[in-house]
Structure 1
């Protein structure tokens, strides 16, 4: 009784002083036990079962007291979910499942901090796998739309902005957008390489081969644009082939464009490095004048993938150039584009199985068809 009374007294004193009181004993509960508590408190059987399944994916970090868990411990665990789980013979989880498990642990740690079991939440800045969302046809711009965006960025256009009239009532007015040839080249470059906005913002001349036939993605810009960092996954480090038109873009950018610091290919008007956010802001300035404000900058990445798929590039090759961890991710994201090949499947079956000899087999008495590599 005395121990509980002292604990309560300390908590009340901390509340009065505006401090976050944490009893040292509360931090000794393991993450796995915390998960079991959450399962017991679940309202329904389905949620309880889900909690307990997620708890089986905790690995060694599950046996660590929550007061001793650091962000690096959780990040290492999250990475192992998709790269290979030591507790499951090295088998990885799918991206979506891994993300769900990670979100669940973030929720557990957030609740632990709210309940004053830990002072800080080590899961606050955890990098989780990206959710896999199928790209729809409406998310992919046409060739004409890409060209139109480049034209508007190069020559400028009109945008509608919010304003007020003389009486103070809301109104709208037209505003001329500044021409930005650098961004026009960047649009063409992104549509031709499928690079992520942060990767283009961090692209350096040293990452491009001397003959400009390929580039290697090795860094991406940080969120504040003040520096660079490695890609989020190993698959993000990749080589992308460059067509002749992209080489022309690069030559023009080198001769007339604004470079960023440390040899960055695409810089701001003031010579600073872009970040993903600044590129998204620029994109918005030219979408409305082009009549394409339903499109996002990321659509150019989808455009590149769709062009590859329509050209007959294999899922493995598309996955490599896009920087996806596995080709299964590529298939999930762009599944509807490969579904367009269903007629080709029927044609292949018709030409192989139901060739002239195969048709005779329907009537009986036909010879057995020998396929290449068949051994009986």
Structure 2
């Protein structure tokens, strides 16, 4: 039970509430009036009886200090962790890091949201909100604060951008094909024709392509962490197979004739992991695995500029996956099958993102891609620049 002791010093009266916390440690707090002291006494006794007592001193740690502890114990993938670290340090700590956990109120969180919304897209701000909420939710679990201020009804996220996804057009793909250097043109084909992620494209080996059964097995991706490259399982840590259209198979074969595969060894699973060796289809001129920090600014964006296309995020290689998805759905591929091909866990995601692209026509995946590339690839195309003829 809590007790109240009256104290008089220099003619001033105060009331100190004393109690023992669940560990047996004696704690006290002083109030200027008896009414305030009795109110706190009642709260403490009720919390101790309910088992909801919270040591207020534990909330004196700053958000910056706690965020470092939180990041240190995360078990997500390396690239996800790298993104979280970057977002915490760039977007959370500058405004909130110096505040003590106990002092972070919903109004402060809402002010932070407003400030970030002036510079970032609604989608990015909502992602940052989820990150901050995860950190403060862990602080609740660790009994450093009583409530997560991000969960307050007064904290409102920016409205999501409901603009429908607009996939690339065949004309845009054709223009980009013309401007990409021969060595790197296959990147575009694998993104738009197989729906692969950039890291999966860079990690595709000759042994992953079955020309007879007409399937590609996606076994790995190239990851860059702190400027060090290594192989990792595909996103979701699941190997998958993708139908290989004849037109894409022909392009892969032509590329290998012009630029033979190179044996490359990289750690598998992390920068310090044992090496795994494969014969990569796409490599640098020196025979090394492609690095996104070179390809994106030096190869891809200049080609976009020459093609008269935007150099925005929507036109980076990931946009090829959106095109692949839209092409398959327009031609009747089921969301379940497409989710498997693209390495998504949830077919509902495909419905949310691409549902406006599903008129329900009847062709299947291989025929859909073949129909496109029949327009884009001229007979005998190989080393030379692509000839594009789109009616």
Question: TM-score if structure 2 supplies the norm length?
Answer: 0.48
Larger relative helix fraction: 1
Larger relative strand fraction: 2
Question: TM-score if structure 1 supplies the norm length?
Answer: 0.50
